[in-house]
Every structure is written in C-alpha cells, then in structure tokens.
Amino acid sequence: MENIETKLREEAKRLLLEKKADVIVGYEKGTLPLTATPCFITTPEEADKLVWNDLCTQNLAKFVHDLITQHKNSQKRVKPEDRKKKVIGVVARGCTTRSLIIHLQERQYGRDEVYIIGVPCTGYMDVKKLKVAVNGADIVEGSIADGKISITTAEGEKSIALKDVLAESCRTCRFNNPIISDTMVGSPVPAMNPDHEYDDVSEFEKKSIEERWTYFTKEMEKCIRCNACRQACPSCYCPTCFVEQSQPQWVGIGEDKTDTQVFQLMRLYHMVGRCVDCGSCVAVCPMGVDLRKFLKKIDKDCWELFGNRAGSSMEDTPPLGKYSENDKEEFIFNP
C-alpha cells in the first residue's frame, strides 16, 4: 500500500507540474478515524495529501463528471476562440474506470479530457459493518495494516480482520483492476471472487413472491428520500432528475409509501447497463437500505439477457441503446 501511495503522489505531482492535468481527484485522510474522503489537488505541493488504502470508498467518476460539466458551463459565455480545455486527473480503480467508460460511451466528455491514474484495488472497508463489529461504540482511533484493523473505542481496544468488514460489492468483484488507464500505479491484483457474484440474487429469486414483495416494501419503508444515493452515483448525472421534474411530475414528493417505492423502482431501473456495483450509493445511504439486492439483479439480467456488463469494455455500447434480432422473447404474451 505504502509503495502505491508514494508512486501515486509522485505521479500526481508530475502531472500537475507538466500541466498534463489541471486538477487531480483523489482521496485524502478523513477527519474521523478510519476514513478517507475525496479531495481535489490543484498544486504540486498538495499532492502529498493523497492517500490510497482500504478506506477509499466513493466512486470518484462522479466528481470527474461534475467538474467537466461545471467547466463546460462556465465556458459557454466565453468566445469560442478563447475557450480553455481542462483535463481532470483521477485516481481510478476498477469500478471507477467502468463508470468513466459509461460516461464516455454516453458521450459526456472526450477521452482527452480525463487522465486516468489506475490503481489496483482489493476492496474497501464498509463503515457500517465496522460499526456493527464494534457494537456501535465510538471509534476514537484506528489504523489498518496487512488486512487487520486495530481500533480503540471508548470501551477498549479491538482487532478486526478487514475481510470481515469488506463492502459487499468488493467481496465478489470481477473488475477490481482498472479497465482503461493512462498510467498505472501498482501492479494488477487477482479478481476477488466473481464466481459468486450472483449468489445473493439467485437466493432471493427463489423466495416466494410475497416474501420478495415484503422485503422490497420493508426496505423502501426505511428510505427517507434524501437522494444521497443519487448524488453519489456516477451514473446519475442528469441535470434535471425525474425526481425533481414537475411537468410531468413523475413521483409525488409527499410521504406516501408508493411514491418512495416508485422513486426507488425507477432509479434502480435507470441503472440497466449502467450500474457498476461500486457500492457508493450503499455507502452513503443513512438508513442502510439494501439497494444492492436490487441493483445486482439488474446487473444479472443485463448480463443474461443482453450479454452486457456495464462499462466493462470501451468497445461496447449501452445495452438499451441497441438491439439484436435474436433478443430473448419468452416474456411476450401469445394468447
């Protein structure tokens, strides 16, 4: 880890000095113990703030899209000949590069507007799981080394294996190495455990229809419609989301429970061929809604029906934007 971090900082410095990138989006140490938070590095001196460890959670592709969009909007009133191009450097692991690929496929920006510093990933720690592991005690101090987390809480010291509190998405990750990159820091690592990625979904599919509906409604009842999941998701970048549209108003804004169900249902559906299973939405949800149970089904269907894994290749195109004459048709009603 240390070694990757040093190389990462050097690389960031070089890019800023050589003006190959205007800003580097990466992670820095968080203000709370055992956290890392996204940061924006604009000067070579700041590059030493960058970290790369098992606490880096959020998918940074979100910020790449935000920065580029913001910059493009700011250039609208500038004469065409005076317009400046900005290059955003980004520290990207497998899922982040998948999101970048989705942005590129959806023509959100050009490949030359991002500089991808690829890093291999072995999964990140799920803060909520850690909280459960320490029985909700306040964490005063903590460090992580060689797959072991040492924590000091108000109640005393504790040591927890990282693999016990690894995020669900990471446990079975297939694409933990960057798919595209301009430069690689660190060498590729083996895939996590992709053969079991759909175990959870297959098990849920086997349940009875009423059990499934009860689970769905129970999960959705937790949701407070804070929209954090949408804000964190790199694939949710529409300037006006259907949630806020008023003509037509797609979903009511009250506390009716069907409105929440419809909101979730539609956000989930918008992820067909677009969810990279980065777990960012799950990580930011304050209510612990089990979004992954549903997102992974969308991913599974997309693979089984259309042979597509979101953002897994630059050559692919969005699965709902195309068709094949031999697409499965069993669901069509023939009286």
Partner 1 sequence: MAENLASKDWEPKIVAIVCNWCTYAGADLAGISRIQYPPNVRIIRVPCTGRINPFYIVKALQTGADGVLVSGCHPGECHYISGNLVARRKFAALKSFLSYIGMEGDRTMFTWVSASEGDRFAQVIRGVTAKVKALGPATKLKKKLG
Q: Which residues bind ligand SF4 (CB under 6 A)?
A: 59, 223-229, 232-235, 271, 275-281, 284-287, 289, 291, 295
* Residue 237 sits in the site that holds partner 1 (CB under 8 A): no
Nearer of residues 3 and 214 to partner 1, judged by Cβ: 214
- The span from the CA of 203 to the CA of 185, in Å, is 38
> Cβ 89 to ligand SF4, closest distance in Å?
21
Strand 23-29 and strand 88-92: the pairing is: parallel
- How far apart are CB 223 and ligand SF4 at their closest, in Å? 3
Residue 225's DSSP bridge partners are: none
Residue closer to partner 1 by CB (options 108, 242) is: 242
Residue 91's binding partner, choosing from ligand SF4, partner 1, none, with beta-carbon cut-off 5 to 8 A by kind? none
Tokens of 233: 């998701």
Partners of residue 288 on adjacent β-strands: none
303 binds partner 1 (CB under 8 A): no
- The strand pairing partners of 148, in sequence order, are 145, 161
Whole-angstrom CA distances from 323 to 30, 281, 296, 329, 330 are 45, 29, 22, 12, 16
Q: Which is nearer to ligand SF4, 13 or 93 (CB)?
A: 93
Distance CA(203)–CA(9), nearest Å, equals: 43
Amino acid at 153: T
Considering CB under 8 A, how many residues would be counted as binding partner 1? Answer: 45
Per partner kind, with CB cut-offs from 5 to 8 A, the member of partner 1, ligand SF4, none near residue 281 is ligand SF4
H or E segment at 150? strand 148-153
> 275 is written with which tokens?
């969810």
Q: Interface residues with partner 1 (CB under 8 A)?
A: 204-205, 209-216, 242, 250, 252, 256, 258-259, 261-262, 265-266, 268-269, 272, 294, 297-298, 301-302, 305-306, 319-325, 327-329, 331-335
